Every structure is written in C-alpha cells, then in structure tokens.
Amino acid sequence: MTELLTERSGRVVAARKLTRRAGRDAAGLFLAEGRQAVVEALADPAGVREVLATEAAAMAHHDLLAATTVPVRLVTEKAAAALSETVTPQGLVAVCELRDVPAQTLASAPPRLSVALAELADPGNAGTVLRTADACGAGAVVFGAGSADPYGGKAVRSSAGSLFHVDVVRGAPLETLLPSLRTAGVTVLAADGGGEASLDQLGPQLAGPVLWLFGNEARGVPVELAALADARVRIPMRGRAESLNLAAAAAICLYTTQLAQR
C-alpha cells in the first residue's frame, strides 16, 4: 500500500511554503488547486513538478491522473488542507513552475491585445482580469510593481485556468515599459472614469496592437502613468451608477477592443 504523505512530510512542508509569495519567489514554484487548474497545468506537463492528491480526489479524478506522466503523490486530508486557502479543500493540487515572461519580450514582439495592471491590490481581481483577458484573446497580462501576485491561491482560482493561457509579466517597471511599447507601435490606453476620450468613440485606435492600462481599485491609474498613455479613456454610462468596479471595467474595455480587432 502506498504510504500517504502527511502535513509533516518534507514534500508537503515544501509545498506549503508556496502558499506565501516569498516562498513562491524563492522556489520558482506555485500551487494550482482544483480540477480545472490542474487540467490546464497538465496540458503542458513540462511545467509541472508533481501533483498531490488525497485518496478520494485521486479516485474522483482517476481519468485525469492516469493519463499524465507527472508524478502523482497521495496525501492525507489534513495535508491537503494545509496546502489549501479555501474553507473546503478540493484535495487536488499541482506544483507548477512560475510562468513569468521578461518585460522586454513584449516590446520586441507586442501582442495584438495586452493588459497592464498598476498597483492592483485584490488577488481576486487579478485572477478575474486574467480570465477576461484570455477570453478576449489577449496575449499578455503585465502586473506592475506593487500589484497582487497572480500566483497566489485566490488569484489562481479566480483565473479558472486562464493563468496557463496568457503570458504573465510580474514586477514590471511600467514607467519604462509603456514608452517602449509605444515606440514599438502599441497604442496605450489608460482606463479612467474622468478620461478625455470615450470608449465608444475610439474607432481606429482599437485596431491594434493595443495595451489597456488599469489601476488600483480605489485610486485608479497613477497620474504619472496615465500621462504616458496615448489617451485616458472613460466608459460612457447612461444610468445613475457612480462608477464601475475594476473587473467590470476591464471586461467592457477588452471586449470592445476584441470586437474592433475582429
């Protein structure tokens, strides 16, 4: 009988360190929990070190785990709980390599559509923007210095697997990256509720390549970064709502751009 790894086992202790950003950065690894995340991770098995699963999860996902060459190790329920940041652990976790792409690669080969996040605080929003960017065909999401870590548990869950579909840039110095992108022919648009341009009137500016810049949930895009954009863009609102939350605004801007680029 295969011996179950406990919460004190070396592999589990090492994996548990990945629930903290410092641990992820030191090891170059992160955790992807749940079937959807593990499915997307295993689509590129070279980037997965191992899968940790409870006996119940291994039985429930036998089809998935039997088809992979990645090592699968059984753990106790208590060990699985130690690796999870949710109230109800799913008992299935992949240990994956960080997927960071150097910022300079964007300037050398800009995607048709990309996103930059300046001081984004909420990891749930980080994952949601990743998912939305993926759905709208974006090639990269840039997390500027001071933004939430897209490899944190909440962000990975919120991305619903999209973290594995787009290039991720972390800690990018946006004050130098944005001018480089503009020099490379990218139109940089800063989402701003008080912007001088209206989203529904941009037309040719959305044809691409385009990078959308979104800011902090409470403070918006920093003034010094907004000044580096080709335009500050507002979303016209016909109702009485004061504003849109960041995730909703990102969805509208990216979807509108996707339609223009089609």
- Mean pLDDT, residues 178-194: 96
Instruction: Supply the pLDDT for residue 3.
Output: 85
Max distance between CA atoms of the chain, in angstroms, equals: 67
Q: Is the pLDDT of residue 52 over 70?
A: yes
Half-sphere exposure of 110 (CA within 13 A, CB side): 23
Model pTM? 0.94
Q: Is the pLDDT of residue 57 over 50?
A: yes
Residue 175 main-chain phi, psi, to 5 deg:
-65, -25
Q: Is the pLDDT of residue 1 over 50?
A: no
CATH fold label, 10-97? 60s Ribosomal Protein L30; Chain: A; (3.30.1330)
Please give the Cα distance from 23 to 16 (Å, whole number). Answer: 9
Residues of the chain with CATH 3.30.1330.30: 10-97
Q: What is the pLDDT of residues 115-160, one digit of tens each?
A: 999 999 999 999 999 999 999 999 999 999 999 999 999 999 999 9
Helix ranges (H only) for 85-141 are 104-108, 123-135
Instruction: Supply the pLDDT for residue 137.
Output: 97
Residues of the chain with CATH 3.40.1280.10: 104-261
Residue 98 DSSP label: -
Average pLDDT, the chain: 95
CATH fold label, 104-261? Alpha/beta knot (3.40.1280)
Spatial strand order of the sheet with 197-198 comes to 167-172, 140-144, 113-117, 210-214, 187-191, 231-234, 197-198
Please give the Cα distance from 249 to 253 (Å, whole number). Answer: 6
Instruction: Supply the pLDDT for residue 250.
Output: 97
- Give 253's contacts (C-beta < 8 A, 6+ positions apart): 189, 191, 199, 212, 214, 233, 235
Instruction: Supply the pLDDT for residue 2.
Output: 67
Give percent above pLDDT 70 in the chain: 99
Q: Is the pLDDT of residue 35 over 60?
A: yes
pLDDT tier at 262 (50, 70, 90 boundaries)? confident
